[in-house]
Amino acid sequence: MNLKSYNMKTRVLPIFALAALAACSGNVNNNNESTAPADSTMTEVSAGDNSADLLKEAIAVWEKDEWIQGNSDEGKVNRPNQYAYCDLDGDGSDEILLREWLKDSNITGYFALFANGKDGLQLVGLTYQTAQIGGMTLYKNGFVKLDSGNESGTYGQNDYLKIENSSVVRSFIATYGEDEDGNNLDNFYKKEAGQERQTISSDEFSSAIAGCDNDNAYPLDGFDWKPVE
């Protein structure tokens, strides 16, 4: 398995189901817009009464995010200009997708995924899809992959978050790198929501994320994107 997925760069807030293709209004093919990860913090806002309320709350979380504000021009926050819904885990409750669509370049810039479970709206990840390292990939099996690393390739991390009932219930993590002598320092972990992570073998990791490959990834452009008013 090639864990060193240095596709694009991002900053992500991972939180702690088989996704039906039809539920996401898009065809499955290779998704080369792959996100960078982070700690295991969870950002929550209270759930609204309908999808319009939830969408407004999701946009508000995006705009208040320190990382977004720190990377915006003074006085002008990078806002999402498109949104879409997708039931990634097949539980009948849609996740919310937001993105900054860069029309001139015809690509996705900033990208965010929100889940809406029993505890309210939760920010799963907020990434920048056009940099060289990192990115977020959504899979048909209910997994979300967050990537990060440095440009030299000496450090990286892949977080595979499993969504069930509109919440992240567990994650499988691969960290990789080299010491000063070039020795391999790869490690693999499993983390259940609310628990400490546990070390697992590379075979256990590979088995857990079976089906998380480009052929089973949702292309971002395949979603039914609508303009943010």
Q: Is the pLDDT of residue 60 over 60?
A: yes
Whether 33 maps to a domain, the answer reads yes
Residue 24: predicted pLDDT? 55
CA–CA dist 80, 77 (Å, integer)? 10
Whether 138 maps to a domain, the answer reads yes
Reported confidence tier of residue 105, pLDDT bands at 50, 70, 90: confident
SS3 115: strand
Whether 227 maps to a domain, the answer reads no
Q: What domain range includes position 120?
A: 22-221
Whether 192 maps to a domain, the answer reads yes
pLDDT digits (tens, 9 = 90+) for 75-93: 677 889 999 999 999 999 8
Whether 181 maps to a domain, the answer reads yes
Mean pLDDT to the nearest integer, 205-209: 97
CA–CA dist 182, 229 (Å, integer)? 51
The structure's pTM equals 0.75
Whether 226 maps to a domain, the answer reads no
Whether 174 maps to a domain, the answer reads yes
Dihedral sign computed on CA atoms, order 90, 161, 206, 138: positive
Residue 69: predicted pLDDT? 85
Whether 17 maps to a domain, the answer reads no
Q: How many domains does the chain have?
A: 1
